[in-house]
Amino acid sequence: MISGGGAIKLLINDSTASNSPGFGVKSNGTSTTIVLNGVTVTNNNVGLTTLNSGVLASYSNNSVTGNGTDGAPTTTVAPK
C-alpha cells in the first residue's frame, strides 16, 4: 500500500500487508496521512515507512513484525 501525490487520508482497518519485496505500508507526501487500525504488516522488505513528511498514524493495536526492517508509525491516535 503506497500513497503519494495529492491530499490523501486513508484508514486501513483489519487488513494484512505482506510478502512485498518493497514496502508493506508507505506514506509519501506532506498531505498524506495513513491511519492503521488492527493491521498486520509482515514478511516485507520494509514494513512501515514514510517519505517526504508523510504521516503513518496508529491506534497502537497493529502487528508489525518479521519484515527485513519493521519500521514504526510516526504518531499514535486514541480511539474515540
List, for residues 35-67, the tens digit of each pLDDT value. 999 999 999 999 999 999 999 999 999 999 999
The Cα 79–Cα 22 span in angstroms is 30
User: Is-above-0.85 flag for pTM?
Assistant: yes
Neighbours of 65 (CB within 10 A): 11
Q: What is the dihedral of CA 36, 17, 26, 1, to 10 degrees?
A: -100
Which domain range does residue 15 map to?
Answer: 2-76
Q: What total of structural domains would you count in the chain? A: 1
Angle, CA 72 vertex, CA 25 and CA 29 arms, to 5°: 55
C-alpha radius of gyration, the chain, whole number = 11
Scan for cell 517519505, then name that residue: 51
pLDDT score, position 8: 86
